[in-house]
Amino acid sequence: MAISTADEAIPSPGMPEDAASAAPAARHHYPDQSWVWYVTALSLALGVMLALAVRTTAHMNSAGFAYARLGVSSAVVGAWREQSVQQQQQLAELNNKLRDYEGRIDERIKSVEGLKKEFMLFKAAAGLVGVEGPGLKIVLRDSPKDPLPNLDPEQLSSYMIHDQDLNGLLNELKAAGAEALAIAGADGKEFQRIVAMSSARCVGPTAVVNGVSLSAPYTILAIGNARNLRRALEMPNGFIQTRGLDVLQMIVIEEDTKLALPEYSGSLSLKHARPTPADE
């Protein structure tokens, strides 16, 4: 009669336990204590498995599967794993989008910086910020020479600087490629930047530029290619010769490698002109 472990475990119903234990002992002739070794060996194996199970359970608990004991089948674990993979993909996609947006923001910042630079260039060209650079320093003064005798009033007036001299000089400099112009009066310090709306007008003994009265001698600063500017002024039959400024010693031209011009200080308000809407 083969007895399985299961059979051993189930007590025979209605049979006194003494009888059940006494009969097999007589039938088998195993050494009395040999079973202890078997049980010990298997207990050791069981202990290893138990340790593994405990470790796995602890691992699962720490990984957030606290409720996931035997009730969760491997299929469910697989589904979770799939979900995790999907979520990681989503995460990667979102990260990519984020990087994309960051790149766009960088581009926008760059374009804003470009606009700022362009804006500063516009302002410099319009005379709304101070500028510096090489160019000419020109002094216009009334002639130090005594007028020749017997001159009519018109010829006499050419011994003095007039607004047409100033405007003519400024125009000539602009035509010669001057990029920034400024003019100061007798003090030679308070420069008025010449902008699109500036003009020089004689009012009595003074010239009014940007609403500020200036008196002779005038100092004009022109930023540009100094040699070109000078040649344009000094060319035969040019501005200086036709006006006789050189003969009457009314003009002094100096080249300077670093002129500093202030910004336009007058009003910028436009009463009539409106920007034309740009067609795009």
Partner 1 sequence: MPLDVADYLSLAVLAGLDSVFGGIRAGVERRFRSDVFLSGFLVNMILAVVLVYLGAVIGVRELYIAAVVTLGGRIFLNLSVIRRHWLERHPASGQK
Residues counted in the chain: 280
Which residues is 220 bridged to in the sheet? 138, 183
Q: How far is the CB of 38 from partner 1 (least distance, A)?
A: 5
Q: How far is the CB of 75 from partner 1 (least distance, A)?
A: 6
Say how far apart CA 161 and CA 219 lie, in whole Å.
12
The dihedrals phi and psi of 15, each to the nearest 5 degrees, come to -110, 130
Closest to partner 1 by CB, 79 vs 252, is 79
Q: How far is the CB of 82 from partner 1 (least distance, A)?
A: 14
Rule CB under 8 A: which residues touch partner 1?
A: 2-6, 8-11, 17, 20-25, 27-28, 30, 32, 34-36, 38-39, 42-43, 45-46, 49-50, 52-53, 55-57, 59-60, 63, 65, 68-75, 77-78
Closest to partner 1 by CB, 22 vs 94, is 22
3-state secondary structure of 193: strand
Closest to partner 1 by CB, 2 vs 270, is 2
Q: How far is the CB of 90 from partner 1 (least distance, A)?
A: 22
Say how far apart CA 145 and CA 45 lie, in whole Å.
126
Closest to partner 1 by CB, 34 vs 269, is 34
The distance of Cα 248 from the centroid of its chain, to the nearest Å, equals 56
CA distance readout (Å), 75 to 55, 72, 82, 223, 230: 22, 8, 10, 82, 92
DSSP state for residue 198 in the 8-state scheme: -
Q: How far is the CB of 95 from partner 1 (least distance, A)?
A: 27
Closest to partner 1 by CB, 60 vs 248, is 60
